[in-house]
Amino acid sequence: MRLSLNVVKQVLEISSLKELRATFDRLGLEVKNVETCVYFDGRSDEIATIETLANRGDHLSQLNIAKELSVALKKNVSELPVVKDEFPIDENLIQCLSPNTISLGICHIRVSPFSLSELKLPSWDLINPDNHPLVALGNYVMKELGQPLHCYSAAKVKTPFRSVEKRIESFYALNGYHYSFPEGTVVIEDSVQPVAVGGIIGSYDSKLDFNEFEIYLESACFNPVHVRKSRLFAKIDSEAGYYFERGVPRTIQELAIRRFLKILELSGISYEVLGYHLVAQPNKTKSLILTKDLLTRDIRVNKVLALATDILSSLGYRVSSDSNQEKFISVEVPEKYEFVIDQPEDLVQEVLRFFDFNSVPKPALQVSFFMPRDNLRYELEQKLCGYLTCNGFKEVITKPFFSPKEAQFLKQLNLAGDLVEVTNNQEAQYAYLKNNNVLPVCRTIALNLNRFVNNPKIFEVGKLFRKNMALEETFLFGGFSVPVNDSREVRAHEDLSKDFLANCVFGCLKIMGLLEKVVFKRGENPLLQFGFEVFLNTWRIASFGAVNPDVLIHYDIMHPVMFFEFSLEPISELLNREGGKYVNQSQISDQPKAFRDLTISLENLIELGNLTRILKDKFDEIELIQVIDRFENKNVTLRFYFQHMTKAFSKSELDELMTKLSSEIENIRVMS
């Protein structure tokens, strides 16, 4: 998730997210990167990209992460401003509640028309500016509190609302597609028709038009299991579903509505609440017994129960102990953790996150591990993986299978002749063993894009399987999507992405000491639009290029994708013949990278791709150049990444480099 410093600062007194990397890591929240941005209104912000814990819905809330930081930093956290006014209760808004609708709140609001820029939001990074202003505000509150909100057009919905569970053969969703949902799906209906599938998506017929500012605002809580079953059956991805599947607390529905209205109030936008009603299932309190024996397995300190009591109480748990607090404590789990904490071991993990995972005793291994027989290939693999990770790639693990649909696609390209069919597959999607790496990379990138991961970079180490294969084939392969937000940017982004792809391939070859020994030839892989193959002697050891658009269409990918692969068997065989002497001749720097942004005019300037190549040839310190913004007046913002072989850059050195870059660009402009 993307965490905003401006949002956190509303409730917690901190100055920077960059300074808290170690604290985030201790909490199990890995910080991928921290970037500074300046919004159109002149305010600056820090945005940290954080890898949240799996299935922790509470970590999708910026406010909850701020509260966890307050406990770790031993600082007080203030309350988020919300409206305090009493709402006019209208019990006719909601007729009934289905068993798997835990809570349903509806607020009828009439708002004075306004534009999105009139909102006083702490962070503009958390919204989609193309949405209706009220929808954008609802999405902001969702990311701030972790509570999805849905806006129904008051002109298109006939109250009362009711929550039912049934099968839907055809549901016309607000994204313009029809979906079918299984028996037991939670459906929100008005008095006439279904208006939403609970926790997943609203209907097209109740969609809010841009000229409408009277809404029914829904704030609900649904059973996560039922949301996930229905969503997977329909094969639909939605941001709301991503939240609800991980568990939304049953106690924040009204809070989210009040926060929604408070932001309107703080923005000077007038509104009127015409009615409000919230219906909820009875709450079942969950209590767990946490024993001293269980805690001392991992935490070796005096008064361990007192430590656990302090940490859990700070997080909002209600804790009581036996008479002497010597053997156990009784912990009442707050509603916000009801989908996260199920057993005493979960409580131990919570205590450890705020104590110190690194202090957990490391038991002696009960088994012996042996290095792979091909030690050189293992070392090679580790070096390549480390290099890609340092350049922003994430390692993934996927299943080595193709579905019948993918096999049929390969048949159309005459690439299915060596497919190996699986005769006892447990699921239809595991019908064939994979015979190429391009399709798995595109499939994984498509899944990441559908999960709202911007421009994913992934790699994997895996095997290929082909009929009559003489040798085992192990590959390191991967790819990344090209960030294109505007058709005018396609050429520039593709040029720079091809440069980045070439840099990655050259960097890997340099690690192995092979860059000066290989030959590059045009490839003929039908899965690539343009491609190159890398040969060492007569052995093909690598290939790379841009993925064929037909492949991208097959996976519904709208952006270009770059691909690369290295065949590890022939490389390690060739290096073994040379005694492995190339591997330790790496010329890759281990010094930290620094970056600076520069906005330039493209007026009377050569093509952007050629400009970046000239600058990289001129300045050895430049590791990478990326386009990060493009403007109507032919201006473009470039991000220059610098890296030195032996030292980190100082501020004065970076300033001097940027001055030289600006001067060189103007010289090129004059010459062109």
- Sorted by where each starts, the structural domains of the chain and their CATH numbers stand as 2-73 (3.30.56.10), 94-280 (3.50.40.10), 286-359 (3.30.56.10), 376-587 (3.30.930.10), 594-671 (3.30.70.380)
Most confidently predicted of 63-77, 337-351, 445-459, 624-638: 63-77
For the cut 60, the answer to whether the pLDDT of residue 245 exceeds it is yes
pLDDT at residue 582, as a whole number: 47
pLDDT at residue 363, as a whole number: 59
Choose between 223 and 322: higher pLDDT: 223
Kindly state the average pLDDT of the residues 299-319. Answer: 87
CA distance 105 to 220: 6
CA distance 17 to 4: 9
pLDDT tens-place string over residues 209-218: 999 999 999 9
pLDDT at residue 583, as a whole number: 44
Kindly state the average pLDDT of the residues 153-163. Answer: 95
pLDDT at residue 593, as a whole number: 74
Half-sphere exposure (Cβ direction) of 576: Cα atoms closer than 13 Å? 13
pLDDT at residue 585, as a whole number: 39
pLDDT tens-place string over residues 1-56: 899 999 999 999 999 998 898 888 888 888 888 889 899 888 999 999 988 876 78
The answer to whether the CB of 588 falls within 8 A of the CB of 388 is: no
pLDDT above 90 covers what percent of the chain?
44
Half-sphere exposure (Cβ direction) of 286: Cα atoms closer than 13 Å? 15
Choose between 500 and 402: higher pLDDT: 402
pLDDT at residue 489, as a whole number: 44
CB burial of 551-581 (b: ≥16 within 10 Å; e: otherwise) equals bbebbebebbbbbbbbbbbbbbbbbeeeebe
pLDDT at residue 579, as a whole number: 61
Kindly state the average pLDDT of the residues 487-498. Answer: 52
The answer for residues whose C-beta is within 8 angstroms of residue 444's C-beta and 6 or more apart is 396, 398, 456, 458, 460
pLDDT tens-place string over residues 88-144: 999 999 999 999 999 999 999 999 999 999 999 999 998 888 899 999 999 999 999
Mean pLDDT lowest among 113-127, 254-268, 428-442, 608-622? 608-622
Where are the extended beta strands (E) located within 115-207? 149-153, 161-172, 178-189, 194-197, 201-202
For the cut 60, the answer to whether the pLDDT of residue 366 exceeds it is no
Kindly state the average pLDDT of the residues 586-611. Answer: 74
The answer to whether the CB of 511 falls within 8 A of the CB of 526 is: no
Q: In the structure encoding, which two tokens stand for residue 378, read together?
A: 């293992």
The answer to whether the CB of 63 falls within 8 A of the CB of 77 is: no
With tokens 């904490």, the residue in question is: 341
- β-pair type (318-321, 271-280): unpaired
Kindly state the average pLDDT of the residues 514-541. Answer: 88
**Burial class for 220, CB neighbours closer than 10 Å (0-12, 13-18, 19+):** buried
pLDDT at residue 298, as a whole number: 79
Q: In the structure encoding, which two tokens stand for residue 81, read together?
A: 């401003």
Choose between 519 and 589: higher pLDDT: 519
For the chain, give the mean pLDDT: 86
pLDDT at residue 316, as a whole number: 87
Question: In the beta sheet, which residues pair with residue 110?
Answer: 214, 272
Mean pLDDT lowest among 96-105, 156-165, 587-596? 587-596
Question: In the beta sheet, which residues pair with residue 463?
Answer: 474
Question: In the beta sheet, which residues pair with residue 318?
Answer: 332
Q: In the structure encoding, which two tokens stand for residue 404, read together?
A: 């019948």
For the cut 80, the answer to whether the pLDDT of residue 512 exceeds it is yes
pLDDT at residue 587, as a whole number: 47
pLDDT at residue 427, as a whole number: 66
